[in-house]
Amino acid sequence: MRIFLLLLISLNIFPSTHFFVLGSGTPNPNPERMGSAYLVLANDTPYLFDFGSGVVRRVAALSSEWGGNFSKLDVTQLEYAFLSHIHSDHTLGLADLIITPWIMGRDKPLKIFGPEAAKDMADHIIKAYQPDIDYRIFGTQPQNDKGYKTIFTSIEEGAIYKDDNISVTAFLNDHGDLSDSYGFLVKTKDKKILISGDTGPSKNLMKYGRDIDILVHEVYSQAGFEKKEPDWKIYHKAHHTSPSELAKIANQLKPKTLVLSHILFWGSTEEEILKEISEYYSGDVVLAHDLIEVN
């Protein structure tokens, strides 16, 4: 009996949830940082949050087929995608996400959850690629006629999705004058993750961020901000979050791990960004890179 109990305990230490930063970038074309994208892998089922440029190839890099460590992860499994807002650095990978997994064999529609405007994006992408889609369906090596299609669900604040692996709650954030912009609270059997989306300091975010394991939050360089022209200072102050503002958020929410992502460096180094945060916050901080797993 003692051996059996020890076995149960040892099995429970292995998490069923993995969280990856797929793309840690911004609109700036940093070749080492793809557009915003995150992956929650819960019981071997992948769930995407945002789909910036490079998203499918970043998922492929995690798969054992392409040299990664996850034998049960494949791009054909990409069936669930949640979008925070319609800005290009969060959506440029949508065409890739619709088409490539289908070409590789996905035979189910892609389920997209996001602001209403994203439906037009998906519909127009399919229309733009219709000649290629028709060729692949009706050509000499025919594809299935389902895997390129999309099922779109328009989101509002509140619970937007739940299955046996995961529940997702959307909340409005404060991304300047973009009214249809969200963050996500993601719960699995062993993790509670809050993804801020693009936002300035948000009182609404604070309501959803209690008792979380991982807080993924955007931030900009204070030193770089000080060099901006007045008009750009007004813009960025309304749309994004400074190190001191983020530290105040983290000090109140007390996440087990704070992940800095979508970082506007503006000439600052990673070390300088971390120093700006550490002046106000002493908790565990991870500066995101593409393809890191956050435990």
Question: 173: which 2 tokens?
Answer: 């954030």
What are the backbone dihedrals phi and psi of residue 171, each rounded to the nearest 5 degrees, phi first?
-140, 140
Q: What is the pLDDT of residue 72?
A: 87
For the beta carbon of residue 280, count every other beta carbon within 10 angstroms: 15
Q: What's the CA gap between 262 and 35, in Å, rounded?
A: 8
Stretches in the chain below the pLDDT threshold 50: 1-12
- Return all residues near 197 (Cβ < 8 A) that are at least 6 apart: 50, 84, 85, 173, 175, 181, 182, 183, 184, 218
For 21-37, how does the pLDDT look when each residue is reduced to its tens digit (9 = 90+)? 999 999 999 999 999 99
The CATH code of the domain at 15-288 is 3.60.15.10
Domain boundaries, given as residue ranges, for the chain = 15-288
- pLDDT for the residue 141: 83
Q: Taking the complete model, does pTM exceed 0.85, yes or no?
A: yes
Beta strand 167-172 pairing with 45-49: unpaired
| pLDDT score at 82 | 99
- The rounded distance, in Å, linking the Cα atoms of 165 and 248 is 32
Question: How far apart are alpha carbons 13 and 30 in whole angstroms?
Answer: 37
**In this predicted structure, what is the pLDDT of residue 3?**
40
Name beta bridge partners: 226: none
Please check whether residue 291 is in contact with residue 37, taking contact to mean a CB–CB distance below 8 angstroms.
Answer: no
| Segment 151-193, tens digit of pLDDT | 999 999 999 999 999 999 999 999 999 999 999 999 999 999 9
For tokens 């997702």, name the residue: 168
Pairing status of strand 17-23 against strand 37-42: antiparallel
- For 216, residues 6+ apart whose C-beta sits below 8 A from its C-beta are 21, 38, 193, 194, 195, 196, 259, 261, 288, 294
Give the pLDDT confidence score for residue 289 in this predicted structure: 98
